[in-house]
Structure 1
Amino acid sequence: MLYGTPDLEPADEKILGEVEEMRRDLKYRLAETHRWDGQLRRQLQARAIQGSNSIEGYRASVEDIESIMVGEEPLEASAAVAREIAGYQQALTYISLLAKASSFRFDVGLLNALNFMMIGHHVDKTPGTVRPGGIYVRNSATGEVVYEGPDHEAVPALLDELVDWLNAGDLDAPNYVRGAMAHLNLVKIHPWRDGNGRMSRALQTLVLARDQITMPEFSSIEEWLGEGRTTYDYYDVLGEVGRGRWSPHGDTHPWVRFVLRCHHMQAQRVQRRLAEAGEVWMLLEERADAEGLHPRCVSALYQVFVSRRLRRSMYQADESLSQGQAARDLRELAAHDWLSPYGETKGRFYAPGPKMLAIREEFAGRAVPLRDPYA
């Protein structure tokens, strides 16, 4: 028996409708191709990876994660953290492909394969295979056991039941609710020795991605879950619903309500980023044209607007340039006070220069708080 899908209350239905409206708006706006789309998607995926891994204690900057995503060595993250980031990116990349697959069914083999992609570098933790014994989740500060997973002998049958439900269960429920319940059931089954939290968040992203409303990076709430107080709220509601051990008879409504709120908050944020991306890009095009800069330089300027730094190889790949062309463009942008260079050779990067800092400050001053839909 799995944790059951709860009935929604009128307030939940209202918020669900608002989330779906925002997602449809995103879909229509993304249907038209823009030059900034690729960089925006990369940034969103990097933030999702950052959020999900930071919950597990693997912390890296968005800039380092973007470097890892394009095959570069990070400037700050340790080799151990970089391996965790690369594994999670591999799994999310596969999820992006599965989102568009014409023939698709959930199965246990897929779940095991995703787990192996994430933690395959931990061979000692038997990645991609069901745990051979009990498992306990502990409070990292006190060492206290806060959750005990179901007996390992029950796990294969529970995974089979979850897969059956993913393919055919509660199909009349909203996809956001089904994603939330997939997340809850997998994290409570805790079928592997490691990677259970990240797998559960990734499974939720996959459920939503299969709905094909928007691409996975635009529908994921992993970024929101990894931020500050939300992470504590996330643990609290999982503890409230889970009650310390496998107990699929309790009320799951608090969990679903928490997830719907996260979707609403993250959808607001993504909507604003998309609108801001177009405004910033057009502004940078005007400024670049006025200063006689090559139009392709806007790509570098936009990357530095949304990030703390830019590396030559990333700009070179984004614009399909030779190493010499990319280096000349960046030197010219630095000479015009758009960029500030730091470091040497492989460690060299470009941070926002005085002109870019002024634009970033202007847009930061416009920011207004997101609206809590349940407030």
Structure 2
Amino acid sequence: MLYGTPALEAADKVVLAEIEDMRQDLEYRLAETHRWDGQLRRQLQARAIQGSNAIEGYRASVEDVQSIMAGEEPLDASNAVTKEIAGYQQALTYIRSLSRAPAFRYDAGLLNALNFMMIGHHGPQSPGVIRSGAIYVRDFSSGRVVYEGPDAVLVPALLDELVAWLNEGDLEAPSYVRAAMAHLNLVNIHPWRDGNGRMSRALQTLVLGRDQIMTPEFCSIEEWLGQQRTTIEYYDVLGAVGRRRWSPHGDTLAWVRFCLRAHHMQAQRVAARLAEAGEIWTYLEEQVDADGLNDRCVSALYEAFVNRRLRRSRYQADQDLSQGQAARDLRELAARKWLQPYGETKGRYYQAGPRLRRLREEFAERAVPLRDPCA
């Protein structure tokens, strides 16, 4: 028996309808190709990876996550955190491919494979293999047990039941609701010795991707969940609905509501970023042209605007330049006060200079607060 899918109330259906409206608007706006699309998608994917790993205590800057995604050495992240980020990126890349696969069915082997991709570097934790013993989730601050997973002998059958449900169960339910319930059931089954939380969040993204709810970069709520205050709420609602041990009965509506709110808030954030991207890019094009610079420099300035830190190798790859061309462009942007260099040789990076900082401040003043759909 799994945790059951709840019936939505009128207020929940209103939130769901608003999410759907925002999704359709985003898809309409994304149907037209823009010069900033690639960088925006990369930023969103990096923030999703950052958020999901931050929940587990593996913290890295967005800039370092992007470096790891590109196969580069991060400036600040430790080797241990780098491995976690790289493993999660590998799994999300596969999920992105599975979202578009014409022939697809969920199975336990797929879930085990995704777990191995995420934590294959944790050899002693038997990555990709169903646990054979008890498992406990502890509160980091107090050390007390807050959840005990089901007995190991029950796990294979529970996982099979979940797989059957993913393929055939509650197909009439809204995709966002099914995805939330997939997350809830997998995290409470806790099938592996490690990586259960990240796997559950990734499964939620996969369910939405299979239902063609845009691409994982735009439908994931992992960035929203990774905020410290939201992470606390996330654990609180999981604890309240899941209880202290496997108990698939009772009301799960609070969990679904939490996920719907997260989707609503994240969709607002993505919509704002998408609108802002066009305004920023257009303004930077005008300024680059007025300065007599090559128009490719807009890419470097946009990256420094949204990500706070730019490395020469990123700009070089984005614009398919030689090392010398990229270095000359960045030196010129620094001379014009658009960028400020820091560090030397391999550790050199660029941040916003006085002119770009003023632009950032202007956009910050114009930012519209997100609207809580449940307030």
**TM-score normalized by the length of structure 1:** 0.99
Q: Distance in 2 between matches of 1:212 and 1:157?
A: 29
The aligned counterpart of 1:303 is: 303
| Runs of 4+ that moved beyond 3 A | none
Matched, 1:212 2:212: yes
Matched, 1:241 2:241: yes
- Equivalent position SS for 2:146: strand
Give 1:219 deviation, angstroms: 0.4
Q: Distance in 1 between matches of 2:250 and 2:85?
A: 34
The aligned counterpart of 1:85 is: 85
The aligned counterpart of 1:266 is: 266
Q: Distance in 1 between matches of 2:147 and 2:213?
A: 34
**C-alpha root-mean-square deviation of aligned residues, in Å?**
0.6
- Equivalent position SS for 1:157: helix
Is the contact made by 1:312 and 1:326 (CA closer than 8 Å) also made in structure 2? yes
The aligned counterpart of 2:127 is: 127
For residues 305-333 of structure 1, give each alpha carbon's deviation from its aligned partner in whole angstroms, at most 9, with x where no partner exists.
10111000000110111111111111111
Give 1:368 deviation, angstroms: 2.3
Within a 5 Å distance, the mapping from 1:325-344 to structure 2 comes to 325-344=325-344
The aligned counterpart of 2:354 is: 354
Q: Distance in 1 between matches of 2:307 and 2:141?
A: 32
The aligned counterpart of 1:148 is: 148
Q: Distance in 2 between matches of 1:32 and 1:19?
A: 21
Is the contact made by 1:65 and 1:74 (CA closer than 8 Å) also made in structure 2? yes
Q: Distance in 2 between matches of 1:163 and 1:266?
A: 28
Give 1:122 deviation, angstroms: 0.4
- Equivalent position SS for 1:365: helix
The aligned counterpart of 1:5 is: 5
Q: Distance in 1 between matches of 2:365 and 2:93?
A: 35
Matched, 1:44 2:44: yes
The aligned counterpart of 1:70 is: 70
The aligned counterpart of 2:315 is: 315
User: What is the percent sequence identity of the aligned residues?
Assistant: 76
Extract unaligned runs of 5+ from structure 1: none
Q: Distance in 2 between matches of 1:78 and 1:251?
A: 41
Matched AA of 2:153: E
Matched AA of 1:11: A
**TM-score normalized by the length of structure 2:** 0.99
Q: Distance in 2 between matches of 1:252 and 1:334?
A: 54
Give 1:367 deviation, angstroms: 1.4
Is the contact made by 1:305 and 1:356 (CA closer than 8 Å) also made in structure 2? yes
Is the contact made by 1:24 and 1:213 (CA closer than 8 Å) also made in structure 2? no
Matched AA of 2:329: D
Matched AA of 1:91: A
Matched, 1:167 2:173: no
For residues 111-151 of structure 1, give each alpha carbon's deviation from its aligned partner in whole angstroms, at most 9, with x where no partner exists.
00000000000001000000010100011111110000000
Which range moved further: 194-203 or 362-371?
Answer: 362-371
Give 1:228 deviation, angstroms: 2.0
- Equivalent position SS for 2:170: coil
Q: Distance in 2 between matches of 1:370 and 1:108?
A: 39
Q: Distance in 1 between matches of 2:265 and 2:155?
A: 34
Q: Distance in 2 between matches of 1:95 and 1:65?
A: 18
- Equivalent position SS for 2:366: coil
How many aligned positions are there? 375
The aligned counterpart of 1:95 is: 95
Is the contact made by 1:149 and 1:189 (CA closer than 8 Å) also made in structure 2? yes
Is the contact made by 1:27 and 1:213 (CA closer than 8 Å) also made in structure 2? no
Matched AA of 1:354: P
Is the contact made by 1:68 and 1:85 (CA closer than 8 Å) also made in structure 2? yes
For residues 176-233 of structure 1, give each alpha carbon's deviation from its aligned partner in whole angstroms, at most 9, with x where no partner exists.
0000000000000000000000000000000011111311110000000010211111
Matched AA of 1:216: P
Q: Distance in 2 between matches of 1:319 and 1:98?
A: 29
Give 1:243 deviation, angstroms: 1.0
Is the contact made by 1:288 and 1:297 (CA closer than 8 Å) also made in structure 2? yes
Q: Distance in 2 between matches of 1:336 and 1:126?
A: 54
For residues 273-330 of structure 1, give each alpha carbon's deviation from its aligned partner in whole angstroms, at most 9, with x where no partner exists.
0000011000000100011110111000000010111000000110111111111111
Matched AA of 2:83: R
Q: Distance in 2 between matches of 1:266 and 1:346?
A: 35
Q: Distance in 1 between matches of 2:102 and 2:329?
A: 42
